[in-house]
Amino acid sequence: MQRKIRVLVGKPGLDGHDRGAKVVAAALRDAGMEVIYTGLHQTPEQIVDAAVQEDVDVVALSVLSGAHMTLFPEVQRLMAGRGIADKLLTGGGIIPPDDMQALLDRGIGRLFGPGSSTVDIVEYIRGWYAERYGADALPPLPPPAPRPEPMVTAAEHAHHRPRPAAKAPARKPAKPARRTAAAAKPARKPAKKAAKKAAKPARRPAKKAAKKSAKKTARKRARR
């Protein structure tokens, strides 16, 4: 028979970091699970008590205080004492990989660190449930929850809509661009012309220049 997976999300100890616990609790709820969140500052005894009373399948702890090596084994011990050792004990928080492995070796479930995907957490819990009760017992994933607000509001859409043509301010026709001297000239001389110029001597030969200057002086003298 299919029924909702029941999860207790617990915040043991003096740790006040509750964002991760709330994010995970919301993701599990959106994935169709029945989630009970204990709230902050619970003792391991209070958490295990709640787990028994609520008849949960999973006890999921959030620990960001650094006390995970005490809190997870303590909750595990109390669960065994109350006859619910067969339930899954999992969780996450600020837990170094070596500690995750050490806790896994003690029979505690997979633990999730910062940046973990909530999709992976949902898959892990559903996978454990399917293994324990059979795939047929696994309820189907609900369709994604509708967003309470559209991603882009109607006002934002309106802001980007093109203005009606009549209301648009009349624009002066653009003047044709003036051709500057630089633009009129070709950027470079054709290669042939440039080669010819390079072949020419830079100045007039000295003989010709001397002849011209002599003529000029003669003309000046004649005028006097």
Which residues lie near ligand B12 (CB under 6 A)? Answer: 9, 15-21, 23-24, 60, 62, 64-66, 90-94, 112-116, 121
State the minimum distance, in angstroms, from the CB of residue 174 to ligand B12.
54
Contacts of residue 122, defined as CB under 8 A and 6 or more positions apart, other chains included, come to: 27, 28, 31, 33
State the minimum distance, in angstroms, from the CB of residue 83 to ligand B12.
22
| CB contact at 8 A, 76 and 29 | no
Cβ proximity to ligand B12, 80 vs 94, nearer residue: 94
Compute the C-alpha angle 178/184/190, nearest 5°. 165
| CB contact at 8 A, 114 and 23 | no
State the minimum distance, in angstroms, from the CB of residue 169 to ligand B12.
49
Cβ proximity to ligand B12, 9 vs 78, nearer residue: 9
Cβ proximity to ligand B12, 119 vs 152, nearer residue: 119
SS3 sequence of 142-175: CCCCCCCCCCCCHHHHHHHCCCCHHHCCCCCCCC
Cβ proximity to ligand B12, 16 vs 142, nearer residue: 16
State the minimum distance, in angstroms, from the CB of residue 44 to ligand B12.
15
